[in-house]
Chains A and B, each alone.
Chain A
Amino acid sequence: DAGVIQSPRHEVTEMGQEVTLRCKPISGHDYLFWYRQTMMRGLELLIYFNNNVPIDDSGMPEDRFSAKMPNASFSTLKIQPSEPRDSAVYFCASSFGHPNTEAFFGQGTRLTVV
C-alpha cells in the first residue's frame, strides 16, 4: 500500500477562493482524520470519520470549513471562502479499528492563502 495519499501537496490561492483538499486513506482503514498544523496552534484535530460517517467535527473552526467522505477510499476538506489565516499544513490520517490505534499520516497539503 502506498500509504495515505493527499493532494495537492501545495496550494496557493487568493483570499475568497474555494479550496478543496483531497485524501485517500490506506485501504481497509475505517477511521479517517483531518488535522491542521500551524506554528501557533500545533496539530489540531478538525474532524474525524468512522466508516465514512462524521463522528466529531467540533474542531472545525467555522462554517467556512466542511468535510465529506463519500466512500471508504476518498475524503475532501473544503474551505469556502478561504482567508489568509487558513494558511497551514493540512494532514489527513487514517487508522484501523478502534481510534486508539496508530494513525498513519499523509504527506500533508501546504495551503497558502494570499
Chain B
Amino acid sequence: GENVEQHPSTLSVQEGDSAVIKCTYSDSASNYFPWYKQELGKRPQLIIDIRSNVGEKKDQRIAVTLNKTAKHFSLHITETQPEDSAVYFCAAHNDYKLSFGAGTTVTVRA
C-alpha cells in the first residue's frame, strides 16, 4: 500500500515569512496529491491539490510542487498570517484510496 511521510512535524514561523512542508510517497501509481488544513477542533478542508500531470500549482499565497521522479511533493505558504496557524496534511491517492501524512502543526508568530 501507499506510505506517505511528512516533514517537519511542527513548524514555527514569523508572520510574513514563508513556510514549507515536504512529503514523500512510495507508490509510483499515485496520481493525485491534495493538501488539507485542519484548524483546532474542526474538520480537514482541502486547500490545494495537484495531479500527476502537473509540476506546480499556485493559488494566491499557496503553491504546491510535485516531483514524480523523486516521489515527493511540497506545500509552500508565502507571507504567512496568523490565520495560517493549523495542522496541514498531505495525501497521496492511487486508484484505490487516499493515504495521509502524519501532519505538520504550523504556528505563525505575530
Chain B residues, Cβ within 8 Å of A48: 97
> Which residue on B lies nearest to A4, using beta carbons?
B43
Chain A residues, Cβ within 8 Å of B34: 102-103
Mark out the residues of chain B between 77 and 106 whose CB falls within 8 Å of any chain A CB in the assembled complex. 89, 93-103
Q: Given A102-B46, A106-B43, A107-B43, are A43 and B100 neighbors across the interface (CB < 8 Å)? A: yes
Q: How far is the CB of B33 from chain A (nearest CB, A)?
A: 9
Chain B residues, Cβ within 8 Å of A99: 93, 95-98
Partner of A42, one of B94, B96, B100: B100
Residues 26-68 of A, flagged 1 when their CB comes within 8 A of B and 0 if not, give: 0000000100000000111100100000011000000000000
Q: Given A43-B89, A43-B100, are A100 and B43 neighbors across the interface (CB < 8 Å)? A: no
> Which residue on B lies nearest to A59, using beta carbons?
B97
For chain B, the bracket of interface size reads 20 to 34
Q: Are B97 and A105 in contact (CB under 8 A)?
A: no
Q: Are B43 and A91 in contact (CB under 8 A)?
A: yes
For chain A, the bracket of interface size reads 10 to 19
Separation of A102 and B44 alpha carbons in the complex (Å): 11
Q: How far is the CB of B50 from chain A (nearest CB, A)?
A: 11
Q: Given A100-B93, A102-B49, are A45 and B32 neighbors across the interface (CB < 8 Å)? A: no
Beyond A45-B97, A45-B98: 11 further Cβ-contacts under 8 Å? A42-B89, A42-B100, A42-B101, A42-B102, A43-B44, A99-B97, A100-B94, A102-B34, A104-B46, A105-B45, A107-B42
Q: Interface residues, chain B, CB within 8 Å of chain A?
A: 31-32, 34, 42-46, 49, 51, 89, 93-103
17 contacts between A and B (CB under 8 A): A42-B102, A42-B103, A43-B103, A44-B100, A45-B97, A45-B98, A45-B99, A55-B96, A56-B97, A91-B43, A91-B44, A99-B93, A103-B34, A103-B98, A105-B44, A105-B45, A107-B42
